[in-house]
Amino acid sequence: MRRTLLAALATCATLAAGAALAQDGPPPGMQMPSPEAIFKRWDANSDGAVDLAEWKAAGRPEDRFAMIDANKDGKITLDELKAAFEKMRQRRMQEGGPPPGPPPEGPPPQN
């Protein structure tokens, strides 16, 4: 009887902890990196732009490159990546989901 009660209590505690984590979003170390950090990692030759070869080398799907390359010059700039992140953030907010991470400028101001 004691084992059954302890197992039930442990299960309830685990479920409650999981639900609390799901409501608060990912732990701080698990948030999506900033656009600047992602851009720096993808810009392999450090020329200030990510071309299609760098994009694919980073493991990104080729069809998404055109979605982010707003001016269609064959390169993605940091500003274009930030704009794409903001667009994604707005879409997720409209759908009722949490934003994917801190905004490009840093965390939102506290009220």
Kindly give, in sequence order, each residue whose CB lies less than 8 Å from that of residue 41, ignoring residues fewer than 6 positions away.
58
Tens of each residue's pLDDT in the chain, 111 residues:
666 645 555 554 454 445 444 444 455 556 778 999 999 999 999 999 999 999 999 999 999 999 999 999 999 999 999 999 999 889 888 887 655 555 545 555 555
Beta bridge partners of 51: 75
Q: Is the pTM of this model over 0.85?
A: no
Count of domains for the chain: 1
What domain range includes position 67?
A: 35-95
What is the C-alpha to C-alpha distance for residues 19 and 99, in angstroms, rounded to an integer? 18
Provide the CATH number for the domain around residue 54. 1.10.238.10
Q: Kindly state whether residue 13 falls inside one of the protein's structural domains.
A: no
75-76/50-51 β-pairing? antiparallel
How far does Cα 100 stand from its chain's mean position?
4
Q: Kindly state whether residue 109 falls inside one of the protein's structural domains.
A: no
Q: Kindly state whether residue 21 falls inside one of the protein's structural domains.
A: no
Closest CA to 68 of 53, 57, 52: 52
